[in-house]
Amino acid sequence: MAYQTIDVKPIAGALGAEVFGVDLSQDIGDQEFDEIHQAFLDHKALCFREQDLSPQRQVALASRFGQPDIYPFIKALPDVPEVIEILKTERDTVNFGGGWHSDTSYLPQPAMGTFLYALEVPDSGGDTMFANTQRAYETLSPTMKNMLEGLIGVNSSAQNYKGGRAKQMKELDGMKDKYIDSSEISIAEHPVVRTHPETGRKGLFVSRAHTTNFKGMTVEESQPLINFLSEYTVHPEFTCRVRWRPGTLVVWDNRCTQHFALNDYNGQRRRMHRVTLRGDRPA
């Protein structure tokens, strides 16, 4: 698409682009929004630099794309229930989001998109990686694609957020006061191959972080294929990497990507604000 109000420069072959020429602290017009939305569908992860976004402004922007959701495991900012703060302090050694996943895939309607805004970042490190799950699906062999057709993944919040992970989160200096120790485990069954509702493209929807097994199969039977698909999805050729600066906003499409927050900055501080959008039921 030829953009008239914005400049869009890809940052890798598989996905990701930087968007120039837009000030998100102001209301954006319909044409500007349509072009940003098209770039979101085309590039899957959009990076906007030097933005000045209050939590309210971040929610207002996200609302142009869809319905901001309430995240079930972290307390929101006191007066903005759609925004959570992700903080790793100088004392923490574990981070939030440090494993490949698509946000909230254990919910019946997993997050459609995520808006992550950087407030404080380490001098180096703390990048986020993204993977294009459609590119992964499209490059599988025809026989593997046939095998996956109709297969249902069972996705559980317990995989990450209960047991070991919950204990870790509670010990985190930056997150322990924000963690909601809900006794509820959320489990949702979703197709392993999902079709993007807006582009019609198929992509893989499996991750070791959330998928426990396939419907009708034991965990033991499922694990080898979950491991293969999880690793295949994040081959270097299917990924891009975003280096954060304070004021960077990244908007990504969870329906066709996975992401990974790198934990390579112990002793330094990283603070982000996150809004997720309610998605549809994967099909």
CB of 272 to ligand SIN, least distance (A): 5
For the chain, the 3-state helix, strand and coil shares in percent, each to the nearest 5, are: 25, 30, 45
Residue 12 CB: number of other CB atoms within 10 A? 18
- Is position 196 annotated as part of the catalytic site? no
Closer to ligand SIN by CB, 202 or 259: give it.
Answer: 259
CB of 276 to ligand SIN, least distance (A): 8
Active-site entry in 103, 190, 253, 270: 103
Q: Which of 203, 252, 210, 212 is nearest to 99 (CA)?
A: 210
Closer to ligand SIN by CB, 29 or 170: give it.
Answer: 170
- Is position 101 annotated as part of the catalytic site? yes
Closer to ligand SIN by CB, 186 or 222: give it.
Answer: 186
Sequence letter at residue 163: G
Residue 275 CB: number of other CB atoms within 10 A? 27
Q: State the Cα–Cα distance between residues 55 and 83, nearest whole angstrom.
A: 7
CB of 146 to ligand SIN, least distance (A): 32
Cβ burial of 220 (10 Å; 0-12, 13-18, 19+) is exposed
Closer to ligand SIN by CB, 222 or 248: give it.
Answer: 248
CB of 199 to ligand SIN, least distance (A): 22
CB of 98 to ligand SIN, least distance (A): 8
Active-site entry in 43, 69, 92, 101: 101
User: Which two three-digit tokens encode residue 177?
Assistant: 């006061």
* Contact assessment for residue 15 and residue 8, using Cβ atoms and an 8 Å cutoff: no
Active-site entry in 135, 255, 259, 273: 259
| Interface contacts to ligand SIN, rule CB under 6 A | 86, 96-97, 103, 114, 116, 128, 259, 261, 272, 274
Residue least distant from ligand SIN (Cβ)? 97
Q: How far apart are the first and last CA of the chain?
A: 27
Closer to ligand SIN by CB, 97 or 225: give it.
Answer: 97
Q: Which residues are catalytic?
A: 101, 103, 259, 274
